[in-house]
């Protein structure tokens, strides 16, 4: 509203400036016609000029304009002409002269520019940004303060991070009664760093700590400390801790800590480090050394890139603890889904356990989005509650992309896609019994996927044996093998499958030491900078081992498809008729057409068996164009 009130004043000043000081403008003769000096002399000779006002830089006047002798104003540039006065007298023209622009013009000539510049800067500093550019608050912290009534989040609203909640309960007890907690001489850590992938609930967990302790919660993003001018970020750090000390006990939470605490000197290769970032980090280190946690101030920070943080920030006495907030396991995903399912009207048939098994690799944010997406799908189809089919469609939407029923495939393409997807399903049924086929479809999805095979693990795994990795590669190559067996040639549809299969095979050789000829050694190197530390001979042997693993898995897929040819044909017929087969329909076809007996996989001779540490990735085998 204030900006709107100042706008008319600004426009008035601008109008006065234009009226008084724009070249060729005057209060007398406004709207008059401009004439060359030669034309003015011609008009004077013909007796058409009636009056003249001689100024310092120009001549203004009136003249009779033919054919109706209408009086019109004119102006022309003044030229030193000694005969002008005599010509005006001989022609009977009334004339006068003005020296300067008058006291009004002279006064405004130096006052108005000052008023204009002062008004412009006043409007810029006070109007734009709603006060963020005010000089008086330029060094103040932008942290948002949430008091207890603004934080309804509690530990019961956070699931899937039970170990982290156990550690953070100590912080809550300390904030509630710091004297009793330190009766034996112990002290709380000055800083706690929440580390984990994006979407795992680090910010939500920090808010839950403040909510449980019922203390003020200072929240700020690490990037908000970084400013254009050197020293402003350090001033904001000082102001933040000063505010926190005044309101102790309280919690300071810095999100995206890597934006503020990146290791100093990392910018040397690109022309030098950023002085502003380094001074801000130095100030933060000084504040961490200077404040006493017994005063009731606890510093929490979150990052998903702890490897790039400055070592001085992570040493004991500053951030004493690192709390891992990892992707939730199956039980954690079930608990998270139960929390979000309370917010939607769903049917009793919705089973959180089944959804948890279907969402391996999903973060807490992904699961929240899944429930919301299912509710939107149910709303679009006019349902009164969310059903299991809506959750299945939501999972497919998030993993495979938007369904494109409008894209019509040619009959031969549709047949090829059906064979490709049944190749994946058949090899998975025969070899990878640890994962169930949830759905097979030939409906195009996403940008380039023409078909889709969705698998879900029967249980969460942290270790995968070498034979299981070989079977995973065989499943990935099952689509290419099925196409080659049926059509005697390959297509471009297996591009994504080949990329994933090659990545798994190369990881087996380089990272997990599963190469037969290379022995139990890791051949990984730092990709930044991407300079290989291996000899040409080692790189050649790594490529040979990778190709040998892929060839073996491809042969295994071919033998499996030949052994279960009847199941492939039955599945292809069902896909061409219905376009999609669910888990129950596939199980029924397997019982009828699946061939008994094993395939004799003939695994590679291996020195050792091992497996990667980590969660399995969601299965996605699109048949791409």
CATH number of the domain that residue 151 is part of: 3.40.50.300
Stronger pLDDT, 128 or 256, i.e. the higher one: 256
CA 593 to chain centroid, in Å, comes to 48
39 and 152 part of one domain: no
In this prediction, residue 376 has a pLDDT band, given cuts at 50, 70 and 90, of very high
Greater pLDDT, 291 or 548: 548
Q: What is the C-alpha to C-alpha distance for residues 262 and 549, in angstroms, rounded to an integer?
A: 40
Report if residue 125 sits inside a domain.
no
Residues 75 and 163 reside in one and the same domain: no
pLDDT confidence band for 305 (50 / 70 / 90): confident
CATH of the domain at 346: 1.10.8.60
Beta-ladder partners of 51:
62, 94
Q: Are residues 168 and 311 in the same domain?
A: yes
pLDDT at 202 over 60: yes
Q: Which two tokens stand for residue 262?
A: 């990146």
CB 462 within 8 A of CB 614: yes
Quote the CA–CA distance of 158 and 332 in Å, as a whole number.
Answer: 10
- Based on the domain organization, do 421 and 319 belong to the same domain? no
Q: Is residue 600's pLDDT more than 60?
A: no
- pLDDT at 474 > cutoff 90: yes
Picking from 378, 400, 422, the residue at the C-terminal end of a domain is 400
H-helix or E-strand spanning residue 217: strand 217-221
Specify whether 242 is located in the same domain as 375.
Answer: no
**Domain endpoint, select from 266, 295, 324:** 324
Integer-rounded Cα radius of gyration of the chain: 39
Query: For the residues 202-229, what does the mean pLDDT come to?
Result: 80
Q: What is the CATH number of the domain that holds 23?
A: 3.30.720.210
Q: From CA 181, how far away is CA 417, in angstroms rounded? A: 65
CB atoms within 10 A of CB 483: 21
Chain centroid offset of residue 394 CA: 21
Here the tokens at position 489 are: 């040639």
3-class SS letters over 566-618: HHHHHHHHHHHHHCEEEHHHHHHHHHHHCCCCCCCCCCCCCCCCCCCCCCCCC
pLDDT for residue 243? 82
In the residue annotation, 421 being an active-site residue is answered as: yes
Give yes or no: residues 278 and 346 share one domain.
no
Among 377, 400, 423, the domain boundary falls at: 400
Instruction: Give the mean model confidence (pLDDT) for residues 222-242.
Output: 73
502 is a domain residue: yes
- What is the pLDDT averaged over residues 369-383? 91
Same domain, 222 and 276: yes
C-alpha to C-alpha distance for 74 and 63, rounded to whole angstroms: 7
**Diameter over CA atoms, the chain:** 129
Spatial strand order of the sheet with 49-54 comes to 33-34, 70-77, 58-65, 49-54, 94-97
pLDDT band at 103 (very low <50, low <70, confident <90, very high): low
Q: Backbone dihedral region of 256: left (phi > 0), alpha (psi from -120 to 50 degrees) or beta?
A: left
Q: Which long-range contacts (CB under 8 A, 24 or more apart) does 18-23 make?
A: 20/105, 20/108, 20/109, 20/112, 21/109, 21/112
> Does the pLDDT of residue 616 top 60, yes or no?
no
- Residue 267 belongs to some domain of the structure: yes
The model's confidence at residue 604, banded by pLDDT at 50, 70 and 90, is: very low
| Residue 177 belongs to some domain of the structure | yes
Q: How confident is the model at residue 547 (pLDDT cuts 50, 70, 90)?
A: very high
For 142-186, the pLDDT digits (tens) are 555 555 556 778 888 888 888 888 888 877 887 777 677 666 666
Q: Is the pLDDT at 510 greater than 70, yes or no?
A: yes
- pLDDT digits over 320-333, tens only? 888 888 888 888 89
- What the block records as the tokens of 17 is 């400036």
Q: How far apart are CA 220 and CA 226, in angstroms?
A: 12
In the prediction, which pLDDT does 107 show?
65
Task: Give the per-residue pLDDT at 607.
Answer: 32
With a cut of 60, say whether residue 66 has pLDDT above it: yes
The C-alpha atoms of residue 557 and residue 476 are separated, in whole angstroms, by 9
Task: Clarify whether residues 443 and 551 are in a common domain.
Answer: yes
Domain assignment present for residue 530? The answer is: yes
Using one digit for the tens of pLDDT, what is the confidence trace for 400-448?
A: 777 666 667 788 888 999 999 999 999 988 887 767 787 888 888 766 6
Q: Could you give phi then psi for residue 87, rounded to 5 degrees?
A: -65, -40
Q: Which domain, by its residues, includes 338?
A: 330-400
Tell whether 342 is covered by a domain: yes
Is the previous residue joined to 285 through a cis bond, with omega within 30 degrees of 0?
no
Q: How far apart are CA 13 and CA 24, in angstroms?
A: 19
347 and 474, same domain (yes or no): no
In sign, the C-alpha dihedral spanning 363, 368, 372, 374 is positive
State the CATH number of the domain containing residue 425: 1.20.58.760
Q: At what angle do helices 583-593 and 411-431 cross, to 10 degrees?
A: 80
Residue 580 contacts residue 454 (beta carbons within 8 Å)? no
| Residue owning tokens 């005057």 | 26
Please state the domain count of the chain: 4
**Catalytic residue, candidates 212, 287, 421, 545:** 421
Q: Quick one: 386 and 522 in the same domain? A: no
**Which pairs with CB-CB distance under 8 Å and at least 24 residues apart come from 400-404?**
400/445, 400/446, 400/449, 400/452, 400/454, 400/620, 400/622, 401/445, 401/446, 401/447, 401/449, 402/445, 402/446, 403/443, 403/444, 403/445, 404/443, 404/444, 404/445, 404/446
Of the listed ranges 76-90, 388-402, 443-457, 524-538, the least confidently predicted one is 524-538
Query: Is 310 part of a structural domain of the chain?
Result: yes
Is residue 622 in some structural domain? no
Give the mean pLDDT of the chain.
77
pLDDT at 68 (0 to 100): 58
Pairing of strands 452-457, 297-303: unpaired
Contact indicator for 191, 249 with CB cutoff of 8 Å: no
Same-domain status, 348 and 465: no
Report the predicted TM-score, pTM, of the whole model to 2 decimal places: 0.62
Residue partners of 570: CB distance under 8 A and separation at least 6: 589, 592, 593
Q: Which residues contact 607 (CB under 8 A, 6 or more apart)?
A: 516, 519, 520
Classify the C-alpha dihedral 252-255-259-262 as positive or negative. positive
111-147 pLDDT, tens digit per residue, is 767 777 777 777 666 655 444 444 444 445 555 555 5
Span of 7-11, 172-176, 471-475 with lowest mean pLDDT? 7-11
Q: In Å, how far are 142, 338, 423, 480, 604 from 486, measured between CA atoms?
A: 65, 46, 11, 10, 27
Nearest to 296 by CA among 144, 455, 182: 182
Q: Which two tokens stand for residue 411?
A: 């009959």
536-563 and 495-510 helices, crossing angle to 10°: 130
Give the angle 87-92-95 at the CA atoms, nearest 5°: 75
Say what the pLDDT of residue 498 is.
93
Q: What is the mean pLDDT of residues 232-249?
A: 80
Residues 501 and 566 in one domain: yes
């Amino acid at each position: 509203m204030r900006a709107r009130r100042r706008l008319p004043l600004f426009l008035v000043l601008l109008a006065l400036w234009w009226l008084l000081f724009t070249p060729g403008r005057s209060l007398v003769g406004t709207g008059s016609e401009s004439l060359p000096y030669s034309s003015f002399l011609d008009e004077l000779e013909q007796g058409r000029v009636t009056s003249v006002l001689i100024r310092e830089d120009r001549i203004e006047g009136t003249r009779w304009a033919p054919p109706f002798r209408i009086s019109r104003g004119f102006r022309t540039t003044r030229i030193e002409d000694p005969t002008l006065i005599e010509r005006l007298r001989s022609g009977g023209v009334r004339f006068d002269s003005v020296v300067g622009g008058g006291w009004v013009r002279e006064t405004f000539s130096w006052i108005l520019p000052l008023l204009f510049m002062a008004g412009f800067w006043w409007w810029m500093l006070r109007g734009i940004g709603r006060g963020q550019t005010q000089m008086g608050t330029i060094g103040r912290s932008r942290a948002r303060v949430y008091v207890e009534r603004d934080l309804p989040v509690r530990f019961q609203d956070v699931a899937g991070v039970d170990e982290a909640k156990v550690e953070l309960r100590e912080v809550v007890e300390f904030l509630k009664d710091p004297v009793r907690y330190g009766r034996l001489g112990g002290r709380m850590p000055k800083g706690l760093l929440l580390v984990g992938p994006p979407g795992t609930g680090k910010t939500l967990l920090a808010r839950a700590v403040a909510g449980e302790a019922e203390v003020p919660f200072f929240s700020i993003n690490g990037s908000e400390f970084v400013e254009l001018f050197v020293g402003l970020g350090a001033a904001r750090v000082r102001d933040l801790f000063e505010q926190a000390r005044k309101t102790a006990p309280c919690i300071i939470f810095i999100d995206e800590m890597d934006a503020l605490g990146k290791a100093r000197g990392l910018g040397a290769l690109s022309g030098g480090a950023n002085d502003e970032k380094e001074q801000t980090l130095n100030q933060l280190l000084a504040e961490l050394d200077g404040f006493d946690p017994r005063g009731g101030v606890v510093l929490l920070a979150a990052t998903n890139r702890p490897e790039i943080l400055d070592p001085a920030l992570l040493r004991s006495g500053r951030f004493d603890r690192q709390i891992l907030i990892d992707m939730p396991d199956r039980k954690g995903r079930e608990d998270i889904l139960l929390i979000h399912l309370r917010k939607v009207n769903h049917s009793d048939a919705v089973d959180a356990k089944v959804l948890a098994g279907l969402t391996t690799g999903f973060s807490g944010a992904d699961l929240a989005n899944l429930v919301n997406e299912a509710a939107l799908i149910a709303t679009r189809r006019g349902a009164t509650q969310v059903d299991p089919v809506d959750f299945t469609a939501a999972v497919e939407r998030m993993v495979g992309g938007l369904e494109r029923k409008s894209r019509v495939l040619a009959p031969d393409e549709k047949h090829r896609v059906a064979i490709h997807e049944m190749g994946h399903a058949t090899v998975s049924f025969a070899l990878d019994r640890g994962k169930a086929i949830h759905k097979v479809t030939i409906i195009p999805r996403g940008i380039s996927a023409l078909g889709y095979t969705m698998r879900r693990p029967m249980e969460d795994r942290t270790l995968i044996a070498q034979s299981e990795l070989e079977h995973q590669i065989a499943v990935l190559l099952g689509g290419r093998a099925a196409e080659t067996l049926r059509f005697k040639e390959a297509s471009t549809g297996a591009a994504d499958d080949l990329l994933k299969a090659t990545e798994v095979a190369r990881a087996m050789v380089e990272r997990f030491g599963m190469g037969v000829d290379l022995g139990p050694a890791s051949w990984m190197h730092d990709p930044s900078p991407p300079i290989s530390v291996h000899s040409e001979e080692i790189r050649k042997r790594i490529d040979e081992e990778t190709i040998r693993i892929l060839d073996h898995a491809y042969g295994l897929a071919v033998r499996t498809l030949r052994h279960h040819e009847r199941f492939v044909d039955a599945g292809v017929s069902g896909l061409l008729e219905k376009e999609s087969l669910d888990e129950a329909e596939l199980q029924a076809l397997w019982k009828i057409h699946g061939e008994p007996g094993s395939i004799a996989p003939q695994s590679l001779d291996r020195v050792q068996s091992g497996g990667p540490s980590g969660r399995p990735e969601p299965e996605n085998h699109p048949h791409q164009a």
